[in-house]
Amino acid sequence: MTFHHKKHIFLDLDHTLWDFDKNSALTFEKIFKLNDLHIDLSAFLEVYVPINLQYWKLYREEKIDKKSLKFARLNDAFKALNLEVSARMIHQLSDDYITHLSTFNHLFPDTIALLEYLQPKYTLHIITNGFKEVQHGKLNQSNIDHFFQTVTNSEMVGVKKPNPKIFKHALQMAKATAEESVMIGDNLEADIMGALNFGMDAICFNYHKETLGSEVIGVDQLLELKMYL
């Protein structure tokens, strides 16, 4: 199956183009130093990363708000490591994390090559569940903002992927139809099933090495997308 006839491509940002795990680790390293906290970074990340993913799932499902997510993910990680960190310090770290995250700008290998390959053939867009105050910084700092005609953020719409309203909003902004569009992202539930259920084709960048069902098209490397696009 190929999608040469499509006109619009919608891409997720974190874990798809922007190397979230690498940039996040560098941010924690920086803010622990800033706040004079002597915490073993690899031990912290080992517990924090899965906790953060769980909280983002709750956030997508509207079960917690942004403020709770930002505090609880850190609080739970420190508790799991039996570290005594005050609530005041957790709030400080949470703010510092948001401030410094977009100053790191590692992209996945071949992100620029992929975008340069796609840009002459399609109109490119972003759909992201990330916090609005950080996402534009990420696009600017990593010098990929000029590739995209529109950026749809869940906070603009008031719902998150996989909610169909965010896909509808993104298509309206792009002046595109579902039939002429493809969604590319890493999250099977939010990006892929969200798009497919909305009536858009989708390709999974299988960064998390999940088992994909036979109905899902997946690639392990970004440049493998050339087989379909």
> CA–CA separation, 119 vs 11, rounded Å?
12
> CA–CA separation, 133 vs 125, rounded Å?
18
Quick one: pLDDT at residue 124?
Answer: 98
CA distances from 32 to 36, 90, 141 (A): 6, 11, 22
pLDDT tens digits, 52-89: 999 999 999 999 999 999 999 999 999 999 999 999 99
Quick one: pLDDT at residue 170?
Answer: 98
Quick one: pLDDT at residue 10?
Answer: 98
Do 8-18+107-227 and 20-101 share a fold? no
> CA–CA separation, 124 vs 9, rounded Å?
5
Quick one: pLDDT at residue 32?
Answer: 98
Count of residues making up the chain: 229
Quick one: pLDDT at residue 131?
Answer: 92
Compute φ and ψ for 135, nearest 5 degrees. -65, -40
Domain ranges across the chain: 8-18+107-227, 20-101
Q: Where are the alpha helices (DSSP H) in the chain?
A: 20-34, 41-60, 66-80, 87-101, 111-118, 132-141, 154-157, 164-174, 194-198
Q: Could you list the mean pLDDT of each consecutive 10-residue stretch along the chain, which spans 229 residues?
A: 95 98 98 98 98 96 96 98 98 97 96 98 98 94 98 96 98 98 97 98 95 94 98
Quick one: pLDDT at residue 108?
Answer: 97
Quick one: pLDDT at residue 1?
Answer: 87
pLDDT tens digits, 22-57: 999 999 999 999 999 999 999 999 999 999 999 999
Confirm or reject CATH 3.30.2350.10 for domain 8-18+107-227, answering yes or no: no
Are the CB atoms for 100 and 31 separated by under 8 Å? yes
> Architecture of domain 20-101 in CATH?
Orthogonal Bundle (1.10)
Quick one: pLDDT at residue 40?
Answer: 98
